[in-house]
Amino acid sequence: MSPAKCLRARMAETGLVHIMAAHSPLSAILAEEAGFDGLWASGFELSALYGLADMSLISMTQHLDMLRAIAGRTTLPIVADIDTGYGNAINVIHAVSEYERAGASAVVIEDKTFPKVTSLVAGGRQELLRIEEFQGKVEAAITTRRSRDFLVIARTEALIAGLGEANALRRAHAYVEAGADMILIHSKSKDPSEIESFSRGWTGSVPLVIVPNAYPDLDADRIKALRNIRMVIYGNYGVRAAATAIQETFRRIIADGGVQNVHKEILPVEEIFRLQKMDEVMAAETRFLR
């Protein structure tokens, strides 16, 4: 069974899949070991890895290179964050073809203008496309995909842009008419009531996706109670956790004047060897190096 088919089957089986953001093969390995259902090839996390703002500064080539590297080290399905599709509907045709070939099981395309500004930043420029123009991008994605199991997820930023629930619902219904397999509804409200209200008002024929970065109190039990959300993406927790640990460790080394204290508290190098599958490499050396 393909990863894309597995993702659809997992949603049907459990009712809700948990997708963890990854910005590297190592973070993907750790997410798989933790038990997540899939991976979010995050544009935000990759931008952060490069030390850049999430404002369409990372190229499609850079993102695809990382996605291929991740796909080579995990069996989990990958949901690719392709932002606005790197341009208009013609760019979307090229992007969907490349991402499916690279190993993605789904893409998420958002209805912002290109170049975008990350959704949760205070005072960020949040400009949306005309509904008809974004419908064309969704149709282009659906027409381009080779496998019907490959998910095209349309993301509306209407709530992020302050346009209100009615506008968000109107956009979401239009995107389903264009062929979207799922709708990602995004919000920067710290109160999950905005998402819960949208969910209760949603009468479309496809399920919803959410990214509870701003409203972490919306846990799995509350999500399942809404009955039409099938995917939750943890969109920036990997890179935030990594940065937290690195900041603390580096600061302590400077404060302590050495590694004598942190050395005992971080993972032993043998655990990194395990994650790198060094035992397999050593076995191959023994067998093949002559």
> CA torsion sign, 163 to 168 to 174 to 180?
positive
Looking at residue 120, the DSSP 8-state letter turns out to be T
Rounded to whole angstroms, the Cα distance separating 39 from 46 reads 13
Number of residues written out for the chain: 290
Rg (CA), the chain: 20
Task: Return the closest-CA partner of residue 181 out of 221, 225, 231.
Answer: 231
Encoding tokens for residue 146? 């080779």
Count of alpha carbons within 13 angstroms of residue 99, beta-carbon side: 33
- 191 a catalytic residue: no
What 3-state DSSP class applies to 23? Answer: coil
Q: Which of 37, 54, 83, 149 is catalytic?
A: 54
| Helical segments of the chain, H only | 3-14, 25-34, 43-49, 60-71, 89-102, 131-144, 165-177, 193-201, 220-226, 237-256, 269-275, 278-288
Rounded to whole angstroms, the Cα distance separating 249 from 265 reads 9
Rounded to whole angstroms, the Cα distance separating 280 from 161 reads 50
Distance of CA 110 to the CA centre of its chain: 12
Rounded to whole angstroms, the Cα distance separating 202 from 25 reads 36
Catalytic residues, by residue number, are 54
